[in-house]
């Protein structure tokens, strides 16, 4: 069973992403003891969940300028 990891409340998206990159490098070296690797995986899972939530929130706030048929411009929610 993996250890639960709790992010610090002050964690930003950029900090979480940087830590994920750091964890990937640590795991890629393949020299961490199993217990440490499991802890890193738990931390990475929490960081990934946090980053996905931050991105979903940011995506919901995006707007785009849309020009209507009569030439006026308005803001609408961003859609792909």
4 domain residue, yes or no: no
Question: Is residue 72's pLDDT more than 90?
Answer: no
Q: Are 7 and 19 in contact (CB under 8 A)?
A: no
3-state secondary structure of 9: coil
58 domain residue, yes or no: yes
32 domain residue, yes or no: yes
25 domain residue, yes or no: yes
The values of phi and psi at residue 74, to 5°, are: -140, 160
Q: Are 63 and 78 in contact (CB under 8 A)?
A: yes
- What's this model's pTM, rounded to 2 decimal places? 0.74
Average pLDDT of 7-21?
94
33 domain residue, yes or no: yes
Range of the domain at 26: 13-77
Question: Is residue 7's pLDDT more than 90?
Answer: no
CB-based burial, 18-49: b 16+ in 10 Å, e otherwise: ebbeebeeeeeeeeeeeeeeebbeebbebbee
Q: What is the mean pLDDT of the chain?
A: 88
Average pLDDT of 31-53?
95
3 domain residue, yes or no: no
Question: Is residue 69's pLDDT more than 90?
Answer: no
pLDDT value of residue 25: 97
């Amino acid at each position: 069973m993996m250890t639960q990891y709790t992010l610090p409340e002050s964690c930003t998206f950029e900090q979480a992403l940087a830590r994920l990159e750091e964890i990937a490098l640590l795991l890629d070296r393949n020299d961490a003891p199993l217990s440490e690797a499991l802890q890193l995986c738990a931390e990475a899972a929490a960081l990934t969940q946090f980053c996905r939530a931050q991105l979903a929130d940011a995506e919901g706030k995006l707007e785009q300028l849309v020009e209507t048929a009569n030439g006026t411009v308005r803001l609408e929610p961003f859609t792909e």
